[in-house]
A and B are shown apart, each in its own frame.
Chain A
Amino acid sequence: MTEPLKLSIDGVEITAKPGQTVLQAAIDNNVYIPYLCYWPGMKPYGSCRMCAVEVEGGRGTPASCTLPVADGMVVTTASPVVSDLRHGILELLLSEHPHGCLTCHRVELCGPQDICLRHVSVVDRCVVCPKNERCELKDTVRYVNMSMESPLTYNYRNLQVETGDPFYDRDYNLCIVCARCVRVCEEIRGDDAVTMIERSGTVLVGTSHGSSLLESGCEFCGACIDVCPVGALTERDHKWDKAVKTVKTTCPHCSVGCQVNLEVDSRGSAIRSIGDWDSPVSNGQLCYMGKFGNEFVNRPDRIRMPLVRQHGELVESSWEDALSIIASRLSDYKGDAFSLLVSPRSTNEQAYLAGKFARSVMGTNNVDIALDHRLELIEPLGRRLGNMAATGTVSEIEDAGCVLVVNSNVTEEHNVAAVPIKKGHKKGSKLIIIDTREVELTRYADLWLRPFPGTENALIGGMLKVIVDEGLQDTDFIAAQSDGIEFLTSSLSTYELDTVASTTGVPADKIASAARFFAASSSSAVVYALDNISADDRTPLTESLIDLALVTGNVGKPSSGLFPLRPGANSQGALDVGCSPHYLPGQVSVENAPGLTGPESLEAMADGSVKAVMVIGDSPLFTQEAVHAFSHTEFLVVQDLFMNELAQSADVVLPMTSFAEDEGTVTNIDRWVQLRRAAIEAPGEARPSTYTFAELARRMGATDFSDGEPLALLGEIARAVPTYAAINHDALESGSVQLPWNQPARLPFAALASLAPRIAGDESFPFLFAPGRVLAMPGEDIEIIRSNGKNTIRREDALEMHPEDAISLGVAPGEIIEVATHTHRIRGMARTTGILRGVVSATVLFGELATALDASGDYDPMLKVPGLHIMPVRVEKVPS
């Protein structure tokens, strides 16, 4: 550790770390230097020149954001020379930025509706700017103490406000061209969706070739809005609303666990979500859901009161009455006739209490998260590596030498986990994608292997074969930390690379290069969601991926490891605290009589063995078949945010708090425990599920239940779950805490499953349809249509098929073909550029195909966007 440096700023002695800039040191020491283009967390850029300072013995007025600290430096931040310079620059800046109110003495007094006595036109007034009072330019103007008169001519750009994009508005009349948006997109997100256009006086931010954001690769993560210092970029929802407080909490949408600052207005609505730049988990980043998808908490149709079914109708009731009814009815269904299905968004405390309620009050292990949370992705990790969780840290993937992404649509489903992957790729790491579908990450891939659906495991086997045959394995690691390599090598003896190539449809040389990339890099990571892999096949595939990581020594060292991307915001925490039919708190196996999983419960309802069910949250996610299964139950309790088909059929409906009203903790994909903090008041009588369980337990005679208070529950969890022993509220208040990764001294290898046959269609549906989705497709004819304030994109959708398949169907390129599944049909123009026989693929944006998929109801249950499920189809030529 190098010694800290000592310098003085405006006569104040401060210390700074070597390598810091003067501005960073000043910020660390609470010395204010104005800046407009700098953003903590991004590389200094040096364009606004507002942070100019004078250094004793130095030349001129260097920008402090790019000036490295030196020992003994004497810095003046506001000498007359520097003040003059700032004044001059701001005067220039205000000559093109609307500033009617900025320098007016009434700026604090006027409201948007007031008549301006100075006749300042509306577009020039700050009081009607969406960023009024959140404007960094305004702060700077106040600091510099600008006067109202400037001899410079004022040039309003007079550009139309761009409202053509789904979530946010861009008013480039207000842009000061600090390039923060361009830099955050390039440097932090790795997207390069926006760039500087033109130059000199007309320089502005835009997309290359003037395309729409939808085409330019924008993910709509909103990072650019968060960093915009002025009103140029603003969220469309609650555009003009002012926040009165900000509460940091954890995003409820996926298992990445981004930290989000919820802004709350004076009426108690959560109006904006802004990424938290201090978070080690998300580094200020959110995605289109975390940024723009939290409006649901404010909806007026939230359930506000408990509802009880009387004479066939649900009528409003009190908690007291509703709980009494539930307690008395549930007493009749103690034991395995009861099942409890809990939302994967629940906090650890809620999930813990659900497990405890099911086991100690209802006497059953039938408690699970209410969706397919892909436990198969982590069970083998638990068996072989000692923990059912990701082995490494997601943010460290940035420094991995090679990243292998297996059947994962990371950008859409675990968006912020894609950020370190893209950043790493920009830094030079190799990116290998295994997926039949086209997903956004394939744009960046060094190698994109498209196996025939169902042959992914064979492909991993092929890679292992190459590694073992070419002696690329990490022999030191294998000798020191593993057992049973011979199981793997002997099972590989039946593998032939050529057979693998013909089975998977991936050329042997590509498999070999993938293996070499993965094995040769200093550290490699595997990211896998195993979309489109059947539940039965996920376990063997995960086992193979573990073998791949072990044989190359990529477990337990930095920037390496296995990263299972499971759905559900708190699936990990729920499992850790025992909200599982198979595991007690601490991932301890239920020895005797494990309970029913979610899907098993549905079957049991249908056959009548489960008679009473409680569903806590996220009930809209159930499929039609599942909702039908519930109709067989004798007693159904639903606690949720909104009325929906399932709630309508319940006997008792309880109003639930949303993530924005909950207190508690959640655990993310890579074992970070973080706080949910209540930002807004719960509507009506809505209460957390912990209240429900604690009250029911009390009424049903349980003695060891507290009143459901989250702090006490966290204490219970810390005692019950060894890895959580160090977790307490105070520690979490000061930041996210990562649970330890304890792995056994020796890690076992497993034999590889034998080559699986391909998934085959049947006679009536002989093809497989592989839908893909990238967020942008440049160079296509795209038309944006606005209607009813919504934007849709129309473009020529193309269906890609193998040329030989096209010949056998008599289809020529450019002809219109139709793809029919059991339930729906979609049309597109045939392209004969496919590489897999028997597979038809399409890459949809938001075009007609997407609409057709949307209409199919084939939703991904967590994300409510059309899923990318591979399905058997029939292909027909449409007569012209």
Chain B
Amino acid sequence: MAETFETLQATAQAREDTLNSGLRIRVGVALCGEAAGAFEVLEALNAEVASRGLAASVQEVGCIGLCYAEPLVDIQLPNGSRVFYRNVTTEDLPAILDAVSSANFRPTDKILGTLGDAGVAGLPKIEDTPQWKYQIRIATRNTGTVDPGEIQEYIVAGGYTGLAKALASMTQEELIEEVKTSGLRGRGGAAFPTGVKWGFLQGSKRPNKYVLVNCEEGDPGAYNDKGLVESDPHTVVEGTIIAGFATGSNYGYIFIRHGHVGPIRRAQGAIKQAYEMGLLGQNILGSGYNFDMEVALTGDSYVAGEETALMEAIEGKRSMPRARPPFPAQSGVWANPSNINNVKTVSYVPEIVRRGGEWFSEIGYERSKGTAVLCLSGDVNYPGMYEVPFGLTLGQVVNEIAGGTASGKDVKLLQTGGPLGGVLGSDSLEIMLDYEGMSAAGAILGSGGIIVGADDICVVDLARTLVAFCQFESCGKCFPCRLGMTHLVEMLERIAANNGRPGDLDLMRSTGKTMAMGSLCGHGQLGFNPISSALKFFEEDFHVHLEEGRCPTGSCNGAFHRPTRTRPLATAEWYAKEEYAAP
């Protein structure tokens, strides 16, 4: 390490100042943007800028969260104001560049609004929209703004100052105390206090300890882990290093499902850059602390996101959950003490260290401190990734941020926390968005996905879709889950096809009870949730099927396709590609 952190910051700031003095154009090319055609727009934009000889720097960025407006093109004027064009196609580009060249932005459908204090006269401010005004962006503070492939921009945004502070002036105990003060709880679903969890690993005196970051994220309707890693990988890297330092471990893994190409590419790039800057490896920032880190991939398995299954996968085994005890802090990866955190959890850590646990604990509601990174989708007007403080109501989230149903029909149900989370009825819109409130209502916040369904959905249809997913993704290890899921799908299929038998509801309940009590991991223990919650709020839909022999909404009538493999299995050639190889 030749340079001090201050020199790194100065270099990065100088680069930023140069860029800011001119015109900056950012294009969101995360998964949501890519799906909407952002790469085509980016290519055409580059060509157009070049052909016009426009003095502008065009950059790839991640997802700012407003996924409904992708592809987003963000024009940053030298005065700092940013103008966002929404749903841009290649045909829109000449007009956009004309406006940019003439500095004459007239409100059109294509302009989403502006960000930044100065704003642009005549254009709406995004800050005033419900999609933005509720947000407090901590974990997502940089997404859509910094270039995820450029560590300098992250440093300018305050990145790695938390790490530098921790290494220079804090002990392991102080760090853990800071995280405890912040009240940060695990964002992967279980909401366990992060500082306490770190304390377990820190307390272990064994030599080789591991910190793992879980970006398996297989929940349908959840894309915040992928979004964070893809849009701001350095915050994950920095958080992991801090977690490593706090717990006294020297190895870290970011574990990503093999199909998440963008996040893998960004995470590997970020790790490589951090090594080059001396922020990873031996003697980080001259502190004497060593930390090595790599990206680990797995095959196509939802259960691989379960912490012990994930460890099996890292060891190169079939990803099936282990029996606990021993817990990961005693015996994790290769029987070494390990700590595993969700991507979102570690993303908060740099800011908590930088600004103090006290600051973080003032945000949020009662025992749910800080913010929740929500993924809103389903029948809504504004699907996207929004970071909001705990304490809003689900109604505010659904009706204001998500803008109500896209179909215009009444909200019938919310499906939260992934397929195992179950459904909530429309009366749940009164519920407070926090861990305790959600669990009191019989649902879980889980990974933060909220799927909204209007009243044209039959709950039997929804339940069979969710349970079929859970059944397909059961690893097959423990008997209750392997067999129970299979029977539940079968029963739901026949109820949906109006062939249900009298007693099927009871049979589902008893099977679900066996699974909940008997299963080895959360997948089976929670696997009955979609049905139990459906029965709790919408038992009527089942009775219509069973007793009247018809679907209450007609949504069960079409052909039902059970899930099959969504993408080909990774091959040796795939892993051999240089960009996916471990650094």
A residues in contact (CB < 8 Å) with B:
44-50, 52, 60-61, 63, 65-68, 81, 84-85, 88-89, 91-93, 95-96, 151-153, 176-177, 179, 195-196, 198-203
Interface SS of chain B: helix
B358 to chain A, nearest CB (A): 34
CB atoms of A66 and B325 under 8 A apart: yes
CB atoms of A195 and B318 under 8 A apart: yes
CB atoms of B483 and A96 under 8 A apart: yes
- Across chains A and B, which 4 residue pairs bring their CB atoms closest together, nearest first? A203-B476, A46-B323, A88-B514, A201-B486
Q: Of residues 467 to 488 in B, which have CB atoms within 8 Å of A's CB atoms?
A: 471-480, 482-487
CB atoms of A46 and B476 under 8 A apart: no
Stretch of B63-71, B397-405, B446-454, B505-513 lying at the A interface = B505-513
CB atoms of A196 and B476 under 8 A apart: yes
B461 to chain A, nearest CB (A): 21
**26 A-B pairs in the complex with CB atoms less than 8 angstroms apart:** A44-B323, A45-B323, A46-B478, A48-B479, A49-B478, A49-B518, A49-B520, A52-B517, A52-B518, A61-B518, A88-B511, A88-B518, A89-B518, A92-B514, A151-B503, A151-B507, A176-B479, A177-B476, A196-B476, A199-B474, A199-B476, A200-B482, A201-B471, A201-B474, A201-B482, A202-B476
Contacts A46-B323, A151-B503, A201-B485 given: A88-B480 contact, CB under 8 Å? yes
A45, B475: Cα distance in complex, Å = 14
A184 to chain B, nearest CB (A): 16
CB atoms of A47 and B474 under 8 A apart: no
Contacts A66-B325, A151-B503 given: A85-B518 contact, CB under 8 Å? yes
> B301: CB under 8 A from chain A?
yes
A91, B484: Cα distance in complex, Å = 10
A421, B37: Cα distance in complex, Å = 57
> B324: CB under 8 A from chain A?
yes
Starting from the known contacts A46-B478, A153-B490, A199-B474, 14 additional A-B residue pairs (CB-CB under 8 Å) come to A44-B323, A46-B323, A47-B479, A47-B520, A48-B479, A52-B518, A84-B513, A85-B514, A88-B480, A88-B517, A177-B476, A195-B318, A199-B473, A202-B476
Q: Report the interface size for chain B: residues with CB under 8 A from the other chain.
A: 35
Q: How many A-B residue pairs have CB under 8 A?
A: 106
CB atoms of A200 and B476 under 8 A apart: yes
CB atoms of A201 and B325 under 8 A apart: no
> B519: CB under 8 A from chain A?
yes
A48, B518: Cα distance in complex, Å = 9
Partner of A153, one of B322, B324, B478, B487: B487
Using CB atoms, name the residue of chain A closest to B520: A46
B515 to chain A, nearest CB (A): 8
CB atoms of A63 and B483 under 8 A apart: no
Using CB atoms, name the residue of chain A closest to B303: A199
A718 to chain B, nearest CB (A): 45
Using CB atoms, name the residue of chain A closest to B516: A60
Partner of B476, one of A44, A52, A60, A198: A198
CB atoms of B475 and A200 under 8 A apart: yes
Which B residues lie within 8 Å of A85 (CB)? 514, 517-518
Which B residues lie within 8 Å of A201 (CB)? 471, 474, 476, 482-483, 485-486
Using CB atoms, name the residue of chain B closest to A155: B486
A201, B478: Cα distance in complex, Å = 11
Partner of A49, one of B479, B485, B503: B479
Which A residues lie within 8 Å of B485 (CB)? 200-201
Which B residues lie within 8 Å of A177 (CB)? 476, 479, 482
CB atoms of B514 and A89 under 8 A apart: yes
Which B residues lie within 8 Å of A199 (CB)? 301, 473-476
Which B residues lie within 8 Å of A176 (CB)? 479
Among B479, B480, B482, B490, chain A packs the most CB atoms within 10 A around the CB of B479
B346 to chain A, nearest CB (A): 28
A200, B473: Cα distance in complex, Å = 7
Using CB atoms, name the residue of chain B closest to A199: B476
Contacts A88-B511, A92-B484, A177-B476 given: A200-B471 contact, CB under 8 Å? yes
Which A residues lie within 8 Å of B475 (CB)? 199-200, 203
B299 to chain A, nearest CB (A): 10
Which A residues lie within 8 Å of B501 (CB)? 151
A180 to chain B, nearest CB (A): 13
Contacts A45-B323, A89-B518 given: A152-B507 contact, CB under 8 Å? yes
Partner of B324, one of A49, A65, A66, A84: A66
B499 to chain A, nearest CB (A): 12
Using CB atoms, name the residue of chain B closest to A151: B507
A47, B323: Cα distance in complex, Å = 8
A249 to chain B, nearest CB (A): 36
A85, B519: Cα distance in complex, Å = 10
A383, B484: Cα distance in complex, Å = 67
Contacts A61-B517, A88-B513 given: A68-B325 contact, CB under 8 Å? yes
B465 to chain A, nearest CB (A): 16
A33, B515: Cα distance in complex, Å = 20
B102 to chain A, nearest CB (A): 59
Which B residues lie within 8 Å of A61 (CB)? 517-518
A766, B457: Cα distance in complex, Å = 83
Which A residues lie within 8 Å of B514 (CB)? 85, 88-89, 91-92
CB atoms of B520 and A92 under 8 A apart: no
Q: Fill in one digit per residue for B39-66: 1 if any A CB lies within 8 Å of its CB, else 0.
A: 0000000000000000000000000000
CB atoms of A200 and B507 under 8 A apart: no
Which B residues lie within 8 Å of A48 (CB)? 478-479
CB atoms of B490 and A88 under 8 A apart: no
Which A residues lie within 8 Å of B490 (CB)? 153
A534, B479: Cα distance in complex, Å = 57
Among A81, A152, A153, chain B packs the most CB atoms within 10 A around the CB of A152
Among B474, B476, B519, B520, chain A packs the most CB atoms within 10 A around the CB of B476
CB atoms of A63 and B487 under 8 A apart: no
A298, B485: Cα distance in complex, Å = 49
A294 to chain B, nearest CB (A): 35
CB atoms of B478 and A47 under 8 A apart: yes
Which B residues lie within 8 Å of A196 (CB)? 318, 320, 476-477
CB atoms of B487 and A92 under 8 A apart: yes
Which B residues lie within 8 Å of A68 (CB)? 325
Using CB atoms, name the residue of chain A closest to B489: A201
Using CB atoms, name the residue of chain B closest to A44: B323
A454, B193: Cα distance in complex, Å = 66
Using CB atoms, name the residue of chain B closest to A96: B483
A263, B256: Cα distance in complex, Å = 52
Which A residues lie within 8 Å of B511 (CB)? 88, 92, 152
A52, B484: Cα distance in complex, Å = 17
Q: Of residues 298 to 325 in B, which have CB atoms within 8 Å of A's CB atoms?
A: 301, 318, 320, 322-325
B320 to chain A, nearest CB (A): 8
A69, B480: Cα distance in complex, Å = 24
CB atoms of B517 and A200 under 8 A apart: no
Which A residues lie within 8 Å of B325 (CB)? 66-68
A89, B511: Cα distance in complex, Å = 9
Partner of A200, one of B318, B480, B486, B518: B486
CB atoms of B487 and A95 under 8 A apart: yes
A63, B514: Cα distance in complex, Å = 13
A81, B486: Cα distance in complex, Å = 23
Which B residues lie within 8 Å of A50 (CB)? 479
Using CB atoms, name the residue of chain B closest to A52: B518
B276 to chain A, nearest CB (A): 33
A585, B519: Cα distance in complex, Å = 62
A791, B336: Cα distance in complex, Å = 45
Which A residues lie within 8 Å of B517 (CB)? 52, 60-61, 81, 85, 88
Which A residues lie within 8 Å of B518 (CB)? 49, 52, 61, 85, 88-89
A316, B503: Cα distance in complex, Å = 76
A558, B91: Cα distance in complex, Å = 78
A617, B139: Cα distance in complex, Å = 80
A195, B319: Cα distance in complex, Å = 12
Which B residues lie within 8 Å of A203 (CB)? 475-477, 482
Which A residues lie within 8 Å of B322 (CB)? 46
Using CB atoms, name the residue of chain B closest to A60: B517
B454 to chain A, nearest CB (A): 31
Among B484, B501, B519, chain A packs the most CB atoms within 10 A around the CB of B484
